[in-house]
Structure 1
Amino acid sequence: MSPLPAWPPALSEAQQADLAHQAATYALANGFTLLPVPPKGEHVPAIPTQVIAAPLSLLPTPFPRPAYVQAKSIQRLYNALYARVALDWEFLDGIMQYVAPVDDFQAELWNRWKAIRDEIKVTQPVQLGIFRSDYLLHEQGNAVGEKSRIKQVEFNTIAASFGALSQKASEMHRYLSEQTNYYHVNPQLHNPNSFVDNHSLEDIAAGLAEGFNAYGNSDAVVLFVVQEGERNVFDQRALEYQLLKRHRVKSVRLTFAQVAQRGQLDDDKVFWLDCPLRGEQLEVALVYYRAAYTPADYMSSAEWDTRVLLERSTAIKCPSMALQLAGAKKVQQVLAEPGVLEDMLLGNARPDVGFGAGPGSLGARDAAALRETWTGLWPLDSSEEGTKAVQLANEHPERFVLKPQREGGGNNIYRGDIPPYLAKLEEEDKSRPGEAPRREAYILMELIEPPKGVHNLLVRGGEGTPRLADVVSELGVYGVALYGGKVTPVNREAGTLLRTKGRESDEGGVAIGISSIDSPLLV
């Protein structure tokens, strides 16, 4: 039995239309926006002249207060865990030696990092992580009346997006409550204590500022490395504006190609950017990646060369190549194996990240708290567990999702599509005799079963008409971790994101209109 109320409360068509109007105008007035999809055959214009409201929900979606508090409270443990993974070269090498033969992207990232890591350990030992741990509520198999539990979908170590828009969604729902009382259709919708106080924009920007300050030159800049034709530009720009307004930190945003054209590394490994409009060079203190997580960002070796050039510099990276590798799905699966998490958190031989995660500072309860949020994870290799996983995937595919080592969504194989996909990989292996089976590039994950019967009114980006949808909501918790070298360590939770989508869709994707940016109504 789900603890969540039937949702949404009844609203007349006139009330829905009024909410949609107020939500859209609020979004447009406050930068809760995306660039529109360009006409077929055209690109996103260099100088934007039009925007659309981001996909949104008219009402916040009910979410159990204890589950929300739990997800936020364990974020610092997750920060500590993945910071430690990124410092443990032997651990990463042990995983990547099996992933690299079947995943060209991970192989390139790993090999490039290995070639320079002794150098960068001296050049810039400080690392900054802007993380997001994503969860779904799970209730399958719970006892009657038992509350839904959070189960982790994945842990993002690079380009964790929507921090700015998430704060704006929370502010929009609170505004609608204060302005309309949601027409008194439900007492929780005009109870201020039911709405979350979310400062993800401010908290993430503060983390970037802390990374910048650790570099030690207030005249330097933050370099945002971005994708060409980025539609989610306002989420990123809001961070830039916040950095300048609150922290007096200037930013420059460039694609890999522009960095290659304008950047250079001097003899002291300081990275400089030519700024021809100002007639000066800018020193880069911090590199913040909102690109570089997908093979599409590396069209040739030139992009990889630029990534390595930045990695070799004295600039602090967010994330480093090691921290990006730590976010691989295979790492998530290996950590779930018996004893591995405990050894990583509690083992005295593991690297000390310095913020309450050194030897003796974490205990078995901390490891148990993390394991409580995990669902079943299996390898797809030739081990006994891997063989068992292949059998499970073929005999009971409805229970599973197949995940590659990718970020950004749209890459997973679900349920009934799994057996024919595994058969396809097996057929392709016949042309690769003596090489590792291609299925080893994937992990098998037990599907999380969200509560049923929750609906909401969703509005697609650029459209004004709400649609009633049977929904699934995914909660993301942001984290900031600054560590390494002689820096004063930072480890904290940094706000939340709720993405809500129709139950009919397995994949998310705010920019393409599948998911809406939402906020929790704590119940």
Structure 2
Amino acid sequence: MGGRSGGLVCSTSSYTGIRTRRLCTSNNTTFPFPQQPQSLSFAKPLKLMSQPLTTNSVLVEEAAADGDSSAAAPPLFDYHRIDQKLLQNIVYDALVWSTLNCLLVGDKSVQRSGRVPGVGLVHLPLSLLPGPFPESHWKQGCELAPIFNELVDRVSLDGKFLQESLSRTKNADEFTSRLLDIHSKMLQINKKEDIRMGIVRSDYMIDEKTKSLLQIEMNTISTSFALIGCLMTGLHKSLLSQYGKFLGLNSNRVPANNAVDQSAEALAKAWSEYNNPRAAILVVVQVEERNMYEQHYISALLREKHHIRSIRKTLTEIDQEGKILPDGTLSVDGQAISVVYFRAGYTPKDYPSESEWRARLLMEQSSAIKCPTISYHLVGTKKIQQELAKPGVLERFVENKDHIAKLRACFAGLWSLEDSDIVKKAIENPELFVMKPQREGGGLVPLKL
């Protein structure tokens, strides 16, 4: 990577989002909720390091005795046959633990809960127990993380590929078009990002028919839940230490998780590489943010553990208070900025006027380290994911044949709406397809377009 990138890459994790269905609680109601393990890596030129971590919590099942790691192991416990009194006790203790340990968000039904800390707190929707997950797939997800991190970085450096791949998307999607315009301006001025940082989440599901781990999507901007994942691990370990003997579940099989600490370490490393001890980290936030506490926790880690100041600003405030100094330094309200950490800017709702677009362009033009750059942001689009899955495309960015094989093994079927045969097949067999939006922020395409 060093020969191509010519700089430091602080690349933080694919939150390998494993989706399962388990008993969950939200104000004492049960519903399915996704489970997500994570691995985290830092990357310097010519070297990638990776550590397995978890976002939310899973119970890793040991490989089958016959060595068939692809076979799905039988469930460790029938979650739907838990004794009701035992279930009530587990729910009670889960809610107590969540409150004591700040597994909380702002209640969307309470005004100002997304603006004022401490207003309208409610526990997050949470998995009551960890979901069993095959050890072989767990290891596969962790192994894929640094490979995807390097892929994201290399694709981000190929501006021509990004512009050409998204050219038709630009004509159909105004939001992507505006992002591409900023990207094009950076190409025109030959803007170099010698230090790059990314927090990347790669979501997976296990295919029921083939029992293989398949990637659903890759997210490159404003990935969240590092703290929530750590807290979920703590919650599940606590509950299993109390009730595991009644459930036949071993808390030692829940993997350790320090994702939030290492996310803060990645930001601190980028801050250090910028080499301005008076500069601060800028956290770009939404006007309304019910999950503000995770963001504040990372800021607290930066302040207390790494002695780094961070400031929170919306895109509107950055437009009003920001400027670029003659040496390229980004200054916001008089404060020099070393790292821009995006926790907003991934959805059109974050850009209600030209003010917010000016702020995004201003930050890209500055010398501050962006997490992510506009290029990293574009790599996370569904269209780029689909392009990378085409035969021969990975070879453009990855030399290692073993890595190419591992990446391709987790690619699910991906098709664009430009293929009339696929569109016809999808109309005839809608149950076989999922239509995903081009943009970040989750969700599916509405039924009526």
Question: With structure 2 as the length reference, what TM-score do the two structures score?
Answer: 0.80
Match of 2:443 in 1: 410
**Residue equivalent to 2:327:** 268
- Give the secondary structure class of the aligned counterpart of 2:355: helix
How far residue 119 of structure 1 moved from its aligned partner, in angstroms, is 3.5
Paired position in structure 2 for 1:207: 266
Identity of aligned residues (%): 32
Question: Is this contact kept in 1: 2:382–2:439, CA < 8 A?
Answer: yes
Q: SS at 1:378's partner residue? A: coil
Amino acid in the other structure paired with 2:421: K
The amino acid across from 1:269 in the alignment is G
Give the C-alpha shift of residue 16 in structure 1.
Answer: 1.7
Task: Decide which of 94, 98, 106 is 2:168's aligned counterpart.
Answer: 98
Partner of 2:246: 185
Structure 1 equivalent of residue 391 of structure 2: 338
Is the 8 Å Cα contact of residues 237 and 251 (structure 2) preserved in structure 1?
Answer: no
1 CA distance for matches of 2:187 and 2:268?
Answer: 25
Asked whether the 8 Å contact 1:38–1:44 carries over to 2, the reply is no
Q: Paired residue for 2:336?
A: 283
1:39 and 1:33, CA in 2 relative to 1: closer, same or farther beyond 3 A?
A: closer
Q: For 1:118 and 1:249, locate their aligned partners in 2 and report how far apart those are by CA, in whole Å.
A: 34
**Per-residue Cα deviation, 1:390-443 (whole angstroms, up to 9, x for no partner):** 121112111001122111112335xxx5xxx5xx6xxxxxxxxxxxxxxxxxxx
Equivalent position of 2:216 in the other structure? 153
- The reply on whether 1:389 has 2:422 as its aligned counterpart is yes
**Alignment check: 8 A CA contact 2:113 2:121 kept:** no
**SS of residue paired to 2:361:** helix
Deviation of 1:126 after TM superposition, in Å, equals: 2.0
- The amino acid of 2:201's aligned partner reads R
Pair 1:243 & 2:243 matched: no
Identify the match of residue 108 of structure 2 among 21, 32, 37: 37
1:293-346 CA-partner distances (Å, limit 9, x unpaired): 000100011100010011111110000111101111000001111111122212
1:357-396 equivalent positions in 2, closer than 5 A: 363-381=400-418, 386-396=419-429
Q: Structure 1 residues 255, 219: closer, same or farther in 2, change over 3 A?
A: same
In structure 1, how many angstroms separate the alpha carbons of the residues matched to 2:383 and 2:115? 38
1:48 maps to which residue?
A: 118
Aligned to 1:216: 275
User: In the alignment, is the contact (CA less than 8 A) between 2:94 and 2:235 conserved in 1?
Assistant: yes
String of CA shifts for 1:195-241, please: whole Å, max 9, x gaps: 11111111211111111111111221111001111001112112111
* Counterpart-to-counterpart distance in 1, 2:243 and 2:303: 35
Q: Confirm or deny that 1:138 pairs with 2:207.
A: yes
Q: What are the Cα deviations for residues 444-498 of structure 1, in whole angstroms up to 9, with x where unaligned?
A: xxxxxxxxxxxxxxxxxxxxxxxxxxxxxxxxxxxxxxxxxxxxxxxxxxxxxxx
SS of equivalent residue, structure 1 residue 401: coil
Q: Is the 8 A contact 1:181 1:190 kept in 2?
A: no
SS at the partner of 1:411?
Answer: coil
- Partner SS, residue 404 of structure 1: coil
* CA shift in 2, pair 1:373/1:396, >3 Å: same
Alignment equivalent of 1:18, drawn from 66, 89, 95: 89
SS of the counterpart of 2:360?
Answer: helix
Q: Residue type matched to 1:197 in 2?
A: A
> 1:195 and 2:228 equivalent?
no
Q: For residue 494 of structure 1, what is the aligned residue in structure 2?
A: none
> Equivalent of 1:127, from 192, 196, 205?
196
In structure 2, what is the Cα distance between the partners aligned to 1:4 and 1:298?
A: 48
Q: Is the 8 A contact 1:11 1:185 kept in 2?
A: no
Look up the SS of the partner of 1:196 in the other structure: coil
Query: Which residue of structure 1 lines up, in the alignment, with residue 356 of structure 2?
Result: 303
Aligned: 1:164 with 2:234:
no
Alignment match, 1:452: none
Query: What TM-score results when the alignment is normalised by the length of structure 1?
Result: 0.69
Deviation for aligned residue 1:283:
1.0
Contact 2:227-2:260 at 8 Å conserved across structures: yes
Aligned residues: 378
Work out which structure has the larger RCO, using CA pairs closer than 8 Å and 6 or more positions apart in sequence: 1
Distance 1:191 1:115 in 2: 52
How far apart are the structure 1 equivalents of 2:215 and 2:366?
34
